[in-house]
């Protein structure tokens, strides 16, 4: 049987979730909107324009569509500065070993990230060639929590969704995995990711036995 593990990127493979937070914080200050780590929890896994709309809902100023595009581009510029210096040293501990073990055990490996920067991040981490398929966020119509991105990766890998395990640090991402008919491993506390089927503190803590158990 073909089996696959489909990973989110930001906050699962490397700490770019922190850079998204820093970039949104900078943008929020520029539009006089309150923003903190707790509010950022609701933006994890959420695409750029939806995240911006949630921040602007707290701004005293009003922005038309063209201005919103400009603000989204500005956030992306902040983010791109922050990721300029990332190197393979920034891959979370244990992740390269986990990917090799899965490959050796015959798993197909995919990335399901809604970030339009995913390809460049994976290149800088020197991980691109480790994956059999990386979703192109530009081609996805419906962002997480819609299952489209996980279903697209499963299809490209040629693996039935029920034979795929998804790995996510965001509630919207776990919801997308479950809606795709896949078991989910949550990277983070059970309280934050109640829909997951298994939880780890760090991606590197995932054991192949956990994955096999979820696919029985």
Q: Which window, 26-34, 95-103, 111-119, 178-186, contacts ligand BG6 (CB under 6 A)? A: 111-119
Give the three-class secondary structure for 128: helix
Selection from Mg ion, ligand BG6, none that 20 binds (CB < 5 to 8 A by kind) is ligand BG6
C-alpha 99/C-alpha 106 separation (Å) is 11
145 preceded by a cis bond (ω within 30 of 0):
yes
Selection from Mg ion, ligand BG6, none that 183 binds (CB < 5 to 8 A by kind) is none
CB of 40 to Mg ion, least distance (A): 12
Q: Site mask, Mg ion, residues 82-101, x = CB under 5 A?
A: --------------------
User: Pseudo-torsion of CA 172, 178, 182, 186, nearest 10°?
Assistant: 50
CB of 1 to ligand BG6, least distance (A): 29
Distances (CA, A) of 25 to 30, 33, 52, 109, 174: 9, 9, 11, 33, 24
Residues at the contact surface with ligand BG6, assessed by CB under 6 A: 10, 17, 20, 43-48, 51, 76, 113-117, 170
């Amino acid at each position: 049987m073909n089996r696959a593990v489909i990973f989110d990127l930001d906050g699962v493979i490397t700490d770019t979730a922190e850079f998204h937070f820093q970039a949104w914080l900078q943008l929020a200050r520029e539009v006089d909107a309150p923003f903190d780590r707790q509010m950022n929890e609701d933006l994890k896994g959420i695409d750029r324009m939806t995240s911006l709309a949630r921040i602007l809902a707290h701004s005293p100023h009003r922005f038309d569509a063209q201005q919103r595009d400009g603000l989204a581009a500005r956030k992306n510029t902040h983010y791109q500065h922050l990721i300029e210096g990332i190197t393979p040293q920034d891959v979370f501990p244990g992740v390269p070993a986990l990917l090799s073990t899965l490959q050796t055990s015959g798993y197909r490996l995919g990335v399901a990230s809604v970030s339009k920067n995913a390809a460049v991040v994976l290149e800088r981490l020197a991980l691109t060639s480790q994956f059999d398929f990386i979703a192109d966020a530009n081609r996805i119509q419906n962002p997480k929590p819609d299952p489209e991105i996980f279903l697209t990766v499963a299809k490209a890998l040629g693996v039935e969704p029920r034979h795929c395990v998804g790995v996510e640090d965001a509630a919207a991402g776990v919801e997308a995995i479950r809606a795709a008919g896949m078991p989910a491993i949550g990277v983070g506390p059970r309280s934050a990711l109640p829909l997951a089927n298994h939880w780890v503190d760090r991606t590197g803590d995932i054991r192949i036995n956990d994955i096999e158990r979820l696919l029985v």
